[in-house]
Amino acid sequence: MSKRQMHFGAMIHGVGHGWGEWRHPEALADASVNLGFYQQQAQLAEAAKFDFAFIADSLHIHTRSSPHYLNRFEPLTLLSALAASTHHIGLVATVTVSYTEPFQVARQLASLDLISGGRAGWNVVTSWLSGTADNFSKAEHPPHPVRYRIAREHVEVVQGLWDSWEDDAFTRNKQTGEFFDPDKLHTLGHQGEFFKVKGPLNIQRSPQGQPLIFQAGVSEDGRHFAAQTADAIFLLPETFEDAHAYYQDLKQRAKRHGRNPDALFILPGIRPIVGRDAAEVERRYQQAVELVSIEDALVALGRPFNDYDFSVHALDAPFPDLGSLGDNSHKGTADQLKRLARDEQLTLRQLALRFSQPRRDFTGTPAQVADALQHWFEHGAADGFIINSLLPDGLAYFTELVVPELQARGLARRDYPGRTLRDSFGLSVPGNRHTLRRTEAGVA
Ligand SMILES: Cc1cc2nc3c(=O)[nH]c(=O)nc-3n(C[C@H](O)[C@H](O)[C@H](O)COP(=O)(O)O)c2cc1C
C-alpha cells in the first residue's frame, strides 16, 4: 500500500487577513482585486502539487472591515478565471447557504466543475455576520441553529440537483434528432422546511459527479453537520492538543454516521513562517509581528463576536464577561476564545494579540517546519494543512523550501495522481443515484 501523504490547500487571500499586511513593502496593495496575483499564487501552489486553492468569502462590510473584505473578488467568478490559468489544482469556493438559492449554487458549481475538468469544491458556510441580512432583503439574520438546518437542507437539494441528468443522458444524435434520453432526466421535486425546488438542473452532470464539500463547523451543530456531509474540514486550532481532540472527535462522528473516517480529511489552517536559517526565520517572524497593531488585533477579535467593538473595554483588565455574545455568529470560535481567556486568565490585550499575532509553532527553517507538520500528521491531528500567510512571499517560501523537504521524506506528493480534485484526495466519483437505482432494480 502506498504511504499516506499530506494534503495541502492554499488559502489565497488578497492583501491578507489583517489590517496591516497590505502595508508590507513588498505587498501588492491591490492584491484582492488583482487577477495576476491570484494566478501567480495558484500557479505556485500547483507547481508544489497542492490539492487545491481556497477562496474565502463573506457578504457584509462596514468601515472597520479589513482591507481585503472591503474590496475583493467574488469567489466563483475568480475561480472560473483561475480554471483557465491552471491545469490540476482544485478550486474551492466559499458560498453561503443562508443567502443563496440551492438551484443557483448547484448550477454555478457544476459549471465550475465542467469548466475546470473536475476540480471544483464548495466550502459550505452559514455566514456569521448579522448585517448580511440587510444586503439580501431579509428582516433578520437566521439564528445559528436555524442556519445549520438551512445548511443541511440546502446541501441536500444541491446534491440532488447535481444528479438531475444521468451521465449518458445527452445522446445528441444528429440522425434521429434525439438531443437527450428522457428516461435519463430526473426531476427533484423537493419540498422541505426552507426550500421548494422542482428541478431538474439546466446543466449536465459534471466530471466529479458531486463536487467536493468542504466545511469548518466548530460548534456542536457545526461538527455534526461537517461529520455527516463534508469531504474535507477546515479548522483553526490554537494548539496541537486542540487539533488532536477535534480530529478524533470528527473521525468518531463520521464513523457513527456510517462513513469511512479515512474519506473525511481534516485540514488545520496554519500560518507558517519559514526562513533558510535561524537569522532569516527571526527577521521574517519580526516582520510579521510588526504588521499587527493592537488596534487592528482588537478589531480582528471582534469578528467572531459579530464585529463587536472591543475598544470600549480596558486593554489590560481581564477579558470582559460577554455573556452570550457570539452565540449567533462564529459560535464555535467565540466559545473557544472565551474559554481560552478564562482558562489562562488573559487580559483583553493578551487575547487580542494571541488571536492575531503570528505563532511560533510553524515558524522555523524548512526542516523545523517539516518536523512540526510531520508531528501533527503522524499523531492524529491532521490529514494535511491549509497554508495561509502573513507575509506576501509566504506561499513562495513554503512551496519552495518546505514542500521539497516533505517530498524527500515521502510525506508530500511529487505529482498529481489524476486530473480531478477527487483524484487528488483518492475519492472515487459517486454513481448517479438514479442510475444506481435502475441498475439495482435491473439486477434484482
Ligand atoms: C479555515 C477556515 C476558513 C473559513 N472560511 C470562512 C469563509 O470564507 N466564510 C465564512 O462565512 N466562514 C468561514 N469560516 C467559518 C466557518 O464556516 C464556521 O462558521 C466557523 O468555523 C465556526 O463554526 P460554527 O459555525 O460551527 O460556530 C471559516 C473557518 C475556518 C476554520
Q: Lowest-confidence range among 103-107, 272-276, 288-292, 375-379?
A: 288-292
**Any atom of ligand 1 within 6 Å of the Cβ of 69:** no
Three state DSSP letters for 229-286: HCCEEEECCCCHHHHHHHHHHHHHHHHHCCCCHHHCEEEEEECCEECCCHHHHHHHHH
Residue 180 has pLDDT above 80, yes or no: yes
Grid coordinates belonging to 12: 489565497
Give the nearest ligand 1 atom to 333 CA.
Answer: 22
Residue 419 has pLDDT above 70, yes or no: yes
Is the separation of the CB atoms in 171 and 181 below 8 Å? yes
**Any atom of ligand 1 within 6 Å of the Cβ of 331:** yes
Grid coordinates belonging to 73: 473578488
Taking the C-alpha atoms of residue 362 and residue 274, their distance in angstroms, rounded to an integer, is 8
Determine the distance separating the centroid of ligand 1 and the alpha carbon of 122, expressed in angstroms.
13
Residue 240 has pLDDT above 80, yes or no: yes
User: Given this model, what pLDDT does residue 299 score?
Assistant: 92
User: Given this model, what pLDDT does residue 43 score?
Assistant: 98
Q: Lowest-confidence range among 128-132, 247-251, 409-413?
A: 128-132
Mean pLDDT score, 393-420: 98
**Any atom of ligand 1 within 6 Å of the Cβ of 333:** yes
User: Given this model, what pLDDT does residue 444 score?
Assistant: 52
Ligand 1 atom 12: residue of nearest CA: 125
β-bridge pairing 190-191 and 196-197: antiparallel
% residues pLDDT > 70 (the chain): 99
For residues 326 and 282, the model is more confident at: 282
Determine the distance separating the centroid of ligand 1 and the alpha carbon of 304, expressed in angstroms.
9
Taking the C-alpha atoms of residue 310 and residue 312, their distance in angstroms, rounded to an integer, is 5
Is the separation of the CB atoms in 295 and 270 below 8 Å? no
Could you report the per-residue pLDDT of 62-94, keeping only the tens digit for each? 998 999 999 999 999 999 999 999 999 999 999
Residue 121 has pLDDT above 60, yes or no: yes
Ligand 1 atom 13: residue of nearest CA: 125
In degrees rounded to 5, what are phi and psi of residue 177? 85, 10
Taking the C-alpha atoms of residue 373 and residue 384, their distance in angstroms, rounded to an integer, is 8
Count helices and strands in the chain by DSSP H and E runs: 16, 12
User: Given this model, what pLDDT does residue 345 score?
Assistant: 95
% residues pLDDT > 90 (the chain): 90
Residue 443 has pLDDT above 70, yes or no: no
Determine the distance separating the centroid of ligand 1 and the alpha carbon of 283, expressed in angstroms.
31
Give the nearest ligand 1 atom to 219 CA.
Answer: 26
Mean pLDDT score, 136-142: 95
User: Given this model, what pLDDT does residue 146 score?
Assistant: 96
Length of the chain measured in residues: 444
Residue 260 has pLDDT above 80, yes or no: yes
pTM summary value: 0.94
Determine the distance separating the centroid of ligand 1 and the alpha carbon of 308, expressed in angstroms.
17
**Any atom of ligand 1 within 6 Å of the Cβ of 164:** no
User: Given this model, what pLDDT does residue 390 score?
Assistant: 87
Could you report the per-residue pLDDT of 347-381, keeping only the tens digit for each? 999 999 999 888 899 999 999 999 999 999 999 99
Residue 47 has pLDDT above 90, yes or no: yes
Could you report the per-residue pLDDT of 225-238, keeping only the tens digit for each? 999 999 999 999 98
Mean pLDDT of the chain: 95
Determine the distance separating the centroid of ligand 1 and the alpha carbon of 168, expressed in angstroms.
37
Q: Lowest-confidence range among 38-42, 176-180, 318-322?
A: 318-322
In whole angstroms, how far apart are CA 257 and each of 155, 157, 221, 226? 17, 19, 14, 11
Is the separation of the CB atoms in 278 and 365 below 8 Å? yes
Mean pLDDT score, 259-275: 97
Taking the C-alpha atoms of residue 88 and residue 20, their distance in angstroms, rounded to an integer, is 33
193 CB contacts (<8 Å, ≥6 apart)? 149, 153
**Any atom of ligand 1 within 6 Å of the Cβ of 200:** no
Q: Which CATH number fits domain 7-288+360-440: 3.20.20.30, 3.30.420.40, 3.40.1210.10, 3.30.70.270?
A: 3.20.20.30
Mutate to test the pocket of ligand 1, among 17, 58, 125 (most ligand atoms within 8 A of CB): 125
User: Given this model, what pLDDT does residue 346 score?
Assistant: 95
Three state DSSP letters for 109-176: HHHHHHHCCCCEEEEEECCCCHHHHHHCCCCCCCCHHHHHHHHHHHHHHHHHHHCCECCCCCCCECCC
Give the nearest ligand 1 atom to 222 CA.
Answer: 26
Ligand 1 atom 31: residue of nearest CA: 235
Ligand 1 atom 9: residue of nearest CA: 57
Grid coordinates belonging to 172: 445528441
**Any atom of ligand 1 within 6 Å of the Cβ of 106:** no
Residue 271 has pLDDT above 60, yes or no: yes
Sign, CA torsion 235/414/261/362: negative
Give the nearest ligand 1 atom to 125 CA.
Answer: 17
Each domain of the chain, given as residue ranges in start order, spans 7-288+360-440, 293-356
Ligand 1 atom 14: residue of nearest CA: 216
Ligand 1 atom 8: residue of nearest CA: 56
